[in-house]
Structure 1
Amino acid sequence: MGAMPIWSLRYPDDFSEDCPVELAARTRYLPDRDQLKQMFCSTRAMLGDFPLSVIWQVKRWGEKKGKYRLYEAAWLGRELKEQGITHVHTHFAGIGARTAWWMSKFYGISYSFTGHANDMFCSNDDPLLLQDLVDQSSFVVTVSDFSREWLLIQCPDSSAKIHRIYNGMESRCLPASGAKTLPPKIVSVGRLITKKGFQYLVEACALLRDSGLDFHCEIIGNGPLEDDLRYQIQQLRLDDCVELAGALPWQEVNSRLNASSVFVLPCVSDDGGGMDNLPTVILEAMNAALPVVSTRLAAVPEMVDEGITGFLVDECDASALADAVGHILKMPDCGQAIGRAGKDYAEKKFSVVQTVSSLMSLIKQSL
Structure 2
Amino acid sequence: MNVLMLTSSYPKFRGDTTAPFVESIATNIAARGVHVHVVLPEHRELERAAVEDGVHFHPFRYAPKKEWTLWGYAEALRGDVKLKRGVYALAPIALTSSFDKMMQLTAREKFDVIHAHWVLPNAPAAALVAQRRKLPLVVSMHGSDVFMAEKNRAFGSAARWCFDRAAWITACSDDLMQRALALGADENKTELIPYGADAKVFHVHPEEAERVRAALNLKRDEVMILAVGRMVYKKGFEFLVRAMPQILQHTPSARLVLVGYGDTRAELETQAHSLGLNGHVIFAGRVPRAEIPAYFAASDIVTVPSVRDEAGNVDGLPNVVLEGMAAGKPIVASNIAGFPDVIDDGVSGLLVPEKDSAALADAIVKLMRDPSLRERLGVRGRAQVRENLNWETVAKKFVAVYERVQKQNVERK
Into which bin does the TM-score normalised by the smaller protein fall? 0.7 to 0.9
Separation (CA, whole Å) in 2 of partners of 1:91 and 1:144: 15
- 2:187 is aligned to 159
* Structure 1 residues 296-315: aligned runs within 5 Å: 296-315=335-354
Separation (CA, whole Å) in 1 of partners of 2:388 and 2:174: 13
SS in structure 1 of the partner of residue 41 of structure 2: coil
By how many angstroms is 1:22 displaced?
2.5
By how many angstroms is 1:67 displaced?
5.3
Q: Structure 1 stretches of 5 or more lacking a match?
A: 36-62
Larger Rg: 1
Separation (CA, whole Å) in 1 of partners of 2:109 and 2:259: 43
Give the 3 Å change call, closer, same or farther, for CA 208–16 of structure 1 in structure 2: farther
**2:227 equivalent to 1:201:** no
Separation (CA, whole Å) in 2 of partners of 1:64 and 1:286: 39
After superposition, give the CA deviation of every residue in 1:1-21 in whole Å (9 maximum; x if it has no partner): 44323132312433589x997
By how many angstroms is 1:78 displaced?
3.4
1:168/1:356 contact within 8 Å kept: no
- 1:135 is aligned to 164
2:156/2:183 contact within 8 Å kept: no
- Counterpart code for 1:182: D
Give the 3 Å change call, closer, same or farther, for CA 76–304 of structure 1 in structure 2: same
Give the 3 Å change call, closer, same or farther, for CA 307–16 of structure 1 in structure 2: farther
Separation (CA, whole Å) in 2 of partners of 1:23 and 1:4: 11
Separation (CA, whole Å) in 2 of partners of 1:299 and 1:71: 33
SS in structure 2 of the partner of residue 129 of structure 1: helix
After superposition, give the CA deviation of every residue in 1:47-79 in whole Å (9 maximum; x if it has no partner): xxxxxxxxxxxxxxxx99635423432442232
Give the 3 Å change call, closer, same or farther, for CA 126–176 of structure 1 in structure 2: same
**2:273 equivalent to 1:234:** yes
1:186/1:260 contact within 8 Å kept: yes
2:35/2:54 contact within 8 Å kept: no
Give the 3 Å change call, closer, same or farther, for CA 288–165 of structure 1 in structure 2: same
By how many angstroms is 1:31 displaced?
3.9
Separation (CA, whole Å) in 1 of partners of 2:232 and 2:262: 6
- 1:28 is aligned to 58
**2:302 equivalent to 1:263:** yes
Which consecutive aligned stretches of 4+ in structure 1 deviate over 3 angstroms post-superposition? 31-35, 63-68, 124-128, 178-181
By how many angstroms is 1:109 displaced?
3.2
Aligned mate of 1:102, from 128, 132, 135? 128
Separation (CA, whole Å) in 1 of partners of 2:101 and 2:283: 44
- 2:147 is aligned to 121
Separation (CA, whole Å) in 2 of partners of 1:200 and 1:16: 36
After superposition, give the CA deviation of every residue in 1:237-264 in whole Å (9 maximum; x if it has no partner): 1112111111101232211110111001
After superposition, give the CA deviation of every residue in 1:304-337 in whole Å (9 maximum; x if it has no partner): 2111111111111111110100111122232122
- 1:49 is aligned to none
By how many angstroms is 1:276 displaced?
0.8
SS in structure 2 of the partner of residue 133 of structure 1: helix
- Counterpart code for 1:260: S
Separation (CA, whole Å) in 2 of partners of 1:96 and 1:299: 22
- 1:294 is aligned to 333
By how many angstroms is 1:95 displaced?
2.9
> Identical aligned pairs, as a percentage?
22
After superposition, give the CA deviation of every residue in 1:291-315 in whole Å (9 maximum; x if it has no partner): 0001111221112211111111111
By how many angstroms is 1:175 displaced?
2.3
2:196/2:322 contact within 8 Å kept: no
Separation (CA, whole Å) in 2 of partners of 1:234 and 1:64: 38
Aligned mate of 2:38, from 7, 10, 14? 7
Number of residue pairs aligned between Structure 1 and Structure 2:
338
Moved more, 345-354 or 224-233: 345-354
1:144/1:299 contact within 8 Å kept: yes
Separation (CA, whole Å) in 1 of partners of 2:62 and 2:350: 46
Give the 3 Å change call, closer, same or farther, for CA 152–32 of structure 1 in structure 2: closer
SS in structure 2 of the partner of residue 9 of structure 1: strand
Separation (CA, whole Å) in 1 of partners of 2:308 and 2:345: 20
Separation (CA, whole Å) in 1 of partners of 2:299 and 2:47: 24
Give the 3 Å change call, closer, same or farther, for CA 6–347 of structure 1 in structure 2: same
**2:281 equivalent to 1:246:** no
Give the 3 Å change call, closer, same or farther, for CA 161–240 of structure 1 in structure 2: same
Give the 3 Å change call, closer, same or farther, for CA 230–126 of structure 1 in structure 2: same
1:65/1:126 contact within 8 Å kept: no
Separation (CA, whole Å) in 2 of partners of 1:164 and 1:359: 11
**2:208 equivalent to 1:169:** no
Separation (CA, whole Å) in 1 of partners of 2:297 and 2:343: 19
